[in-house]
Structure 1
Amino acid sequence: MKVLFEALRWRQPHGVKGLSNYTALYVCRLLTAHPEWTSAIEVRRRRSP
């Protein structure tokens, strides 16, 4: 998932903001919208500081 996310970031024109380093949050939204994909995407537990 990280590779796909980074590919999307690289396709944006230089200087255009919108995709930050919040990959995990976007993955959670994606899996909420498409729960059938949970077996294909590895989700790790978040570490608390």
Structure 2
Amino acid sequence: MALDMLSSSQRYIEEATYLSFFPGLCILLTVLSFNIFGDILRQTIEPKEK
């Protein structure tokens, strides 16, 4: 959905930058949250090294 919104806003990027900014920010936050969740999950599952 966000990728579709981002591609359709390319025509208006010079006139209204917010049309590409907010979907791009949504993609960034989604990827970042999956990355942080993966790190937390890995720390939980792996045994502690001493």
Q: Normalising by structure 1, report the TM-score.
A: 0.32
Q: Normalising by structure 2, report the TM-score.
A: 0.31
Which has the larger Rg? 2
More helix by share: 2
